[in-house]
Amino acid sequence: MSDFLSVDRLASLPPVVRRPGHKMPTTTGIVHFGPGAFHRAHQASYIDTVLDHDQRWGIAAVSLRTRGTIEALERQGGHYTIGVRDAEPEWRVIAAHNRFLGPDEAGETLALLGSPDVRLVTTTVTEKGYCLAPDGTLDFDHPDIVHDLAGAAAPRSVVGWIVAGLAARRGAGIAPFTPVPCDNLARNGAKLHAALVGYAGRLDSELADWIAGEVRVPATMVDSITPASDARFLDLTATTLGVRDDAAVQRETFVQWVIEDQGRPLGPDLAAAGATLTTDVAGYERAKLRLLNGPHSTLAYAGLLLGHTSVAEAMGDARLAAFVAAMMREEIAPMLKAVPGLDLGDYIDAVLRRFRNPVIVHLLEQIAHDGTQKLPYRLVDTLIENRRAGRLPPRILTAIGAWIGFVMQRARAGTKIIDPEGAFLATAGAEGSAADVLARITGAGLLLPPEMAGDRAVTDAIARAGDAAFAGTLAQILA
């Protein structure tokens, strides 16, 4: 028997570990590009649930760059563990991957993409992996796209691979598969579809027209914190299982997969496995951006100024936790349009539980990066909608002021500000009051749009909070 997790070790696992409710599937119905930790903790767990009742949806794990993950999966016969990390942990063995392909198996990958059994091609390749330009269109100058369009035998880009697979199917008279991007990229379905059409247009105009008319690419939103599988976690997994699992992953309890309903069946019944099918993915994205990411940034800047290091630690500060909860319920949620199937009260409760998770260590320092890029969407959009409704949201303004105080503190301590505009922020925050710093930042076209930068009630409130944050009296104005 192997010292690693495998099918022959399932029976000997302790009762605390949930075993698969099915045998390893023999049919491959899904090709997945990018089988990293998030995919294994997220999409694969949904598919594993589907497989309990429908064995057609085995996943081919395709790695475009390295072989480490697929070799670990293959060594274990596709079996690996998800450790759900919370005050009450859960352990579950997944058995969903039945093919393992690396950069050197291009022929097998193309054959799979051309197979009529394959109905979905899912991707988790990070936002950069789609080779898009800043405007969201395909970057034809990207080295991988240049390489692929030059006629290389094996594409390097996921766009090149998907188009190659679609071209093979069209040539064989087989219906197209459905590409499903699973990276957090706004309007990811529309952007990937346009990229596929644009790429194909450089090869064959008829192929491009076929993709434009026949291929559907649903938008998605995915969410679940998935910390890296470090040595400590892998040792804990081995102790819990009694065998090694080099492909084990960990995530929080909360998991969400929102998929655009385009009126065509996807193939696997993902809704029955817990995914949300909706015609309003953008509504879910907006709720996440404002009710999860906005409070996250608030906890980061206010929490760091108050001496905290992690989200859970910041939520242990009763005054700060109450401030964030009130901001969500009284200033953010009322400005969100109703989304079918999404109960904002329940969502807020779930977010607050996630923030309090004592096991997931989400560092505030990491969340605090790139404020000039994040805050306009996470907090300022909510501010704008409040002002247009005739409201002055004090907590949103205090949260933005905390960022100003953070910039002032870092600039004057000589601490690097991690932000695309970091050098400018270091200069802008080096001297003067919060009002002075805010004026320099908005004068450079950052943070606030003109309608807010010219709103004296807004800028005065942000400046007052910024001065308090820098002076160390932020706790006194949290309410």
**Does residue 472 register a pLDDT over 50?**
yes
Q: How far apart are CA 69 and CA 84, in angstroms?
A: 20
pLDDT, one tens digit per residue, over 369-393 is 999 999 999 999 999 999 999 999 9
Q: Where are the alpha helices (DSSP H) in 15-157?
A: 37-41, 43-51, 68-75, 106-113, 143-149
> Could you read off the pLDDT of 319-346 as tens digits, one per residue?
999 999 999 999 999 999 999 999 999 9
Predicted confidence (pLDDT) per residue in 80-97, tens digit: 999 999 988 999 999 999
Strands 90-95 and 79-84, bridge-based pairing: antiparallel
Which residue bears the tokens 């006629």? 151
Residue 83 — left, alpha, or beta (φ > 0 → left; ψ -120 to 50 → alpha)?
beta
pLDDT per residue as tens digits for the range 234-264 = 999 999 999 999 999 999 999 999 999 999 9
Q: What is the mean pLDDT of residues 46-66?
A: 97
The type of residue at 56 is R
Q: Residue 427: its pLDDT value, please? A: 98
Residue 117 CA to residue 48 CA, distance in Å, equals 17
Q: What is the pLDDT of residue 277?
A: 97
Reported as a pLDDT band with limits 50, 70 and 90, residue 1 is: very low
pLDDT surpassing 50 at residue 426: yes
Mean per-residue pLDDT, 117-135: 96
Cα(222)–Cα(43) distance, integer angstroms = 9
Predicted local distance difference test score (pLDDT) of residue 35: 97
> Poorest-confidence range of 2-6, 76-80, 183-187, 432-436?
2-6
pLDDT at 2: 63
pTM of the shown model: 0.93
Q: In Å, what is the CA distance from 333 to each residue of 286, 340, 343, 426, 479?
A: 11, 15, 10, 34, 18
259, 180 Cβ separation under 8 angstroms? yes
Domains detected in the chain: 7-279 (3.40.50.720), 282-477 (1.10.1040.10)
